[in-house]
Amino acid sequence: MNKPLRRIAIFCGLLMLALLIRANWLQYLEADELATDDENRRVLIDRYATPRGDIIVGAKAITDSVESKGSDLKFERKYKNGPMYAPVTGYASQAMGMTFLENIYDSVLSGKDDRLAFERFTDVVTGKERRGGDVITTIDPRAQEAGYKGLTDLGARGSVVALEPSTGKVLALVSTPSYDPTVFAGNSLKESDRFSALGKDKAKPLANRALRETFPPGSTFKILTAAAALEHGVVTDIDASSGAASPYKLPQSTNTIGSEAGDGICDKASMKTAMQYSCNNVFLDAAVKVGADKMRETAEKFGFNEDVYSSDFGDLRAIKSLYPDNLDKPGTALTGMGQGSLTSTPMQMAMVTAALVNDGKVMQPYIVEELRSPDLAPLENHEPEVMSEAVSESTAEKVREMMEHTAKEGSARRALIDGITVGGKTGTAQRGVNVRDQVPFGWFVSYGVNPDGQSVAVAVFIDPTDMDISREDISGGSLAAPIAREVMKSVLQK
């Protein structure tokens, strides 16, 4: 063989070797990555080739799958009461992808989970269409409806979270304004435009205010301040005078902070009276005496400063609520009344309230009770899990005593329910140091316990930006407490 032909043969051999190496590389090393790449059209075609399993609330499916028209993606998702349940389900859109439960449990809902391998095999043998499994949630449909109706009747941006204190089950997870995932579930340009319009809406209907946004908690945080003061021995008698003057002079400052109830009631008031009338001076003073480190330590035991998620299923993911590091005395004082640089999600304040009902134990919140195969056999069940012991049983009992007194004699009266033990705390939160010209947020946290011992903890958050209401009329007691009352009734008076 002459030299030019030999070179050509070697070159062709090298090309063949490179081709074989590349083919094997793709087939064995990159196969999984390519097979699951969202840009791979075959992935989408396979994902929507069969009806998805359902997301279940109260033994009824709140999702469905219907055949698409004029698309190679055979089935698209539909939602029942879509706006009410959107913070729970998320969305499964052919064009926009998937979020929340639809995304977390896609393998089960699409029938491709490894635990469904036997069902897939039998379906192939019998010629049946591949079937997806179901996701059974902890949501109480009556509680969800009560929270959603309460916020939408007000026309408010806001959130409602209800928890079962003894287990951590999420009974309601509401965020308004909301959206209907059905309107952009398909793959058309029109549906993409609808999604884009939602993203540009200033009211942020796609936001999950219960889990993914934080706000200053205002006076609802006083229940945690009270718990910290009792736990660290700063307060030993909730009926004794606090010695805190009203108006209260911030440490290292000439600024003073008063209380809406007036100096006559709040001056040197006991912690129990201060909770009843929401006297700022007593809680500012208590936070300073507890100190920044111990206040932060107590807040962290309740769940602050870490992302909240269900460690078993991983189905509930809330961003961290923040109790800051390195606070000076004025900053520490302001956190005592839920202001300053302190922020919280509605989920976090529901967790604080639930822990006090549960004798100081914080349960890991979760929203999925069970994963179920297409033949209704359980794949996985959630077991309640203690997240931490935030305070002692005696501390929790004393805070409950104050909250129940506040409901009977103070600012939380609108949450009272006949035949139910109710504790509550209102909150009106300024948006920040430099935004005092805007209407404040309204908060309310509460719990109810019926004669059978069943309990529920509720946090209601209201952003009145879109409401025709004056600054003077913003109050957690007037706006949020009636919503909490209806949610508690829906759970405890079935």
Active site members: 219
Whose tokens are 């995304």? That residue is 103
**Angstrom distance (rounded) from CA 321 to CA 219:** 16
- Cβ atoms 459, 308 nearer than 8 A: no
Phi, psi of 392 (to 5 degrees): -75, 165
Lookup: tokens for 263: 């100096």
Whose tokens are 């200053």? That residue is 216
**Angstrom distance (rounded) from CA 444 to CA 446:** 7
**Angstrom distance (rounded) from CA 306 to CA 321:** 7
What contacts 147, CB < 8 A, 6 or more positions away?
160, 162, 172, 174, 460, 483, 486, 487
- Comparing CA positions, the residue from 415, 401, 432 lying closest to residue 150 is 415
- Comparing CA positions, the residue from 357, 341, 360 lying closest to residue 303 is 360
What contacts 263, CB < 8 A, 6 or more positions away?
246, 247
The residue count for the chain: 494
- Cβ atoms 44, 76 nearer than 8 A: no
The CB-based long-range contact list for 289-294 (8 Å cut-off, 24+ gap) reads 289/229, 289/234, 290/225, 290/228, 290/229, 290/232, 290/234, 291/332, 292/326, 292/327, 292/328, 292/329, 292/331, 292/332, 294/228, 294/232
**Which amino acid is present at 349?**
M
**Which amino acid is present at 410?**
G
Lookup: tokens for 240: 């004794």
Phi, psi of 238 (to 5 degrees): -70, -10
Per-residue exposure over 475-492, b if at least 16 CB sit within 10 Å of its own CB, e if not: bbbebbbbbbbbbbbbbb
Output the CA angle 450-454-459, nearest 5 degrees: 90
Strand 75-79 and strand 63-67: pairing?
Answer: antiparallel
The CB-based long-range contact list for 2-9 (8 Å cut-off, 24+ gap) reads none
